[in-house]
Structure 1
Amino acid sequence: MSGILVGTCSWTDPALVRSGWYPVGRRDAEGRLRHYAERFPVVEADASYYAMPQERISRMWVERTQDGFTFDVKAFSLLTGHPTREAMMPDGMPADARDGGVLDELWSRFAEAIGPLRRAGRLGSVLFQFPPWLRPGARAERVLAQTARRTAGWPVAVEFRHPDWWRAEQSDSTSALLADHGMTAVAVDMAQGLPSSLPPFVTVTTSRLAVVRFHGRSTSWGRGSKEDRFRYAYTPDELTSWTPQLHRLAGQVEQVHVLFNNCCGDASVRAAEQMKRLLRVSHGCA
């Protein structure tokens, strides 16, 4: 499977479920995924960031979707250095990233959980979204090297949240670092002009995959509630401005994942549907 795959960063977001996008009779867990997969060829599973995923659930995802449907899976929070609530840790494990034994066990469980997706050829990438306090430097390079060792053989995509990674004077070094580790650089669309705004920098660091995540353009980025940060409805002109770049990316890599994270009501699925029409791409699944 090749080309441009368009989808959203969740199919289970409560605001989407409440929006009425899922029809009556397809609002249970199985029905929602089947309904989504009939309309889009890719999705990002973001629940795995908040709680350790389970092999049993991954197996059900494979069973409930057609051949060719692709899952991008977000890495568990503690694996990227984010604070994690004890209640989200499996089996009462301490949420202590300094404990090597805890980290070893979490990495092992995460690898086991995504196993069914890998074996079925359904794993598009594992997204490592690093926190905004991880800035360019020796410590960050060690973190990336450790991540590369832990994920050998996995398709990995990296989204940095500190703006310095993609400043003009740093961008070439960032691209080279990710390319050396075989990691896909994630480009983002978001509001510009804020202290925490990430430049809309697009670069190819692997020939296999490019990823663009659309966060919306809310000026509440970096503050406020989740809905404040991600509440945004893209206009046709805003989406159209991206289409030449996305087509160029498609000519450089095997596959492009375009994922909408403006998760407020049904804004993400509506934007994804519109982007599919603008790009004139089909569903994309066999």
Structure 2
Amino acid sequence: MGGVRVGACSWTDRALVTSGWYPEGSRDAEGRLRHYASRFPLVEVDSSYYALPSARNSELWVKRTPDGFRFDVKAFSALTGHPTRQGVLPAELRGLPQGPELRDEVWRRFADAIGPLRAAGRLGTVLFQFPPWFAPGSRSVAALRECAERTAGWPVAVEFRRPEWWRARQYDATCALLAELGLAAVAVDMVQTLSTSIPPVAPVTSLRLAVVRFHGRSPAWGTGSKEERFRYDYAVDELREWIPRLRTMADRAEELHVLFNNCCAEAAVRAAGRMEALLREEWGDRVAWGDRVNVSRETGDTARFT
């Protein structure tokens, strides 16, 4: 059975920063990351989806986190086919026409930006979350092949937001394709009442890594604002539902990443704490955890040992 890391999909989310989770004296950029990394061994970088990351930030993240900590970095929107405003590009790229030259430069800059994380062994994976209109078919397969070619040597995970990829008739073909390309599949927990809901399957397509992202089960999915969609507090029994699936995934991969994307106030870190405690009861030291932190499985609250 492989090792397991649990974390949240942001440590900089404004609602988390203002929630009081960060202790006094640890609320600047450096203090927040150091505190988070003392509590969890994994975090997702979501800011890299909205704008190209920088090598300087990657260097700072390495310095501010302990050996063994991992960053899962979300791919920039332009690399996954999402609409990307010219204004979020570096100034010197905004005048370039849309086409291969601009695309190549964006790929190059993204690779350079995550270079320090790769060199330090802190890059958990690069997450490519494809849009809802990215459906199974020849164009999508070609895009995935290009992604695999451009990221050769990187750890890469793929999340689909189109349920057809994981429905019965397509499931085996999707697994085979990702396995052929060396890409880890991302499993998803979300509300199951919509035609667009991703089914709660647990695919493993890479021996290196398996990933699960918990988006919350808010009834506002499909209608509400971003804040309303992600405002959800997981109960312990809802997390426990996933234990058999997580065991199956961990049995088939060297490492399993379990991430909570219900980023509203403390909800994500609280759920991550609950899941971490549940998994440690089941699997003991196979679950990586923060530096001497005790976690309540009922509340997700933490207390530091002395």
Interval containing the TM-score (normalised by the shorter chain):
over 0.9
Question: How far apart are the structure 2 equivalents of 1:97 and 1:146?
Answer: 21
**Corresponding letter in the other structure for 2:5:** L
Question: How far apart are the structure 2 equivalents of 1:171 and 1:53?
Answer: 33
Normalised to the residue count of structure 1, the TM-score between the two structures is: 0.96
**Corresponding letter in the other structure for 1:21:** W
The question of whether the paired residues in 2 share the 8 Å contact of 1:55 and 1:116 is answered with: yes
The question of whether the paired residues in 2 share the 8 Å contact of 1:94 and 1:102 is answered with: no
Question: How far apart are the structure 1 equivalents of 2:103 and 2:237?
Answer: 45
**Offset at residue 244 of structure 1 (A):** 2.0
- Cα deviation code 1:223-250 (max 9, x no counterpart): 3211111110001100011112212222
The question of whether the paired residues in 1 share the 8 Å contact of 2:38 and 2:290 is answered with: no
SS at match of 1:169: helix
The question of whether the paired residues in 2 share the 8 Å contact of 1:194 and 1:219 is answered with: no
* 1:8–1:96 Cα change, 3 Å: farther
**Corresponding letter in the other structure for 2:147:** T
Deviates more, 1:230-239 or 1:82-91: 82-91
**Offset at residue 94 of structure 1 (A):** 3.5
**Offset at residue 63 of structure 1 (A):** 0.3
Q: Which residue of 1 aligns with 2:73?
A: 73
Q: Which residue of 2 aligns with 1:15?
A: 15
Q: Does residue 1:152 correspond to 2:158, yes or no? A: no
**Offset at residue 97 of structure 1 (A):** 8.9
**Corresponding letter in the other structure for 2:165:** W
Question: How far apart are the structure 1 equivalents of 2:135 and 2:204?
Answer: 20
Q: Sequence identity, in percent?
A: 63
Question: How far apart are the structure 1 equivalents of 2:32 and 2:248?
Answer: 33
- Cα deviation code 1:148-190 (max 9, x no counterpart): 1111111000000111111111011111110010000000000
Q: Does residue 1:261 correspond to 2:261, yes or no? A: yes
Normalised to the residue count of structure 2, the TM-score between the two structures is: 0.90
- Cα deviation code 1:177-230 (max 9, x no counterpart): 100100000000000020210011111101010000000001222332111111
Question: How far apart are the structure 2 equivalents of 1:219 and 1:136?
Answer: 27
| Structure 2: gaps of 5 or more residues | 281-286, 293-306
Question: How far apart are the structure 1 equivalents of 2:87 and 2:26?
Answer: 30
1:15-164 equivalence runs, <5 A: 15-94=15-94, 98-164=98-164
Question: How far apart are the structure 1 equivalents of 2:37 and 2:66?
Answer: 8
* 1:251–1:41 Cα change, 3 Å: same
Q: Which residue of 2 aligns with 1:283?
A: 289
**Corresponding letter in the other structure for 1:283:** W
Question: How far apart are the structure 2 equivalents of 1:120 and 1:285?
Answer: 20
Superposed CA RMSD in Å reads 1.6
- Cα deviation code 1:73-121 (max 9, x no counterpart): 0000000010112221112524989411111000000000000000001
Q: Which residue of 2 aligns with 1:191?
A: 191
* 1:126–1:227 Cα change, 3 Å: same
**Corresponding letter in the other structure for 2:289:** H
| Structure 1: gaps of 5 or more residues | none
Question: How far apart are the structure 1 equivalents of 2:75 and 2:59?
Answer: 18
Question: How far apart are the structure 1 equivalents of 2:128 and 2:197?
Answer: 18
SS at match of 1:173: helix
Question: How far apart are the structure 2 equivalents of 1:149 and 1:29?
Answer: 35
SS at match of 1:126: strand
* 1:243–1:188 Cα change, 3 Å: same
- Cα deviation code 1:112-140 (max 9, x no counterpart): 00000000011110000000001000010
Deviates more, 1:84-93 or 1:6-15: 84-93
Q: Does residue 1:236 correspond to 2:236, yes or no? A: yes
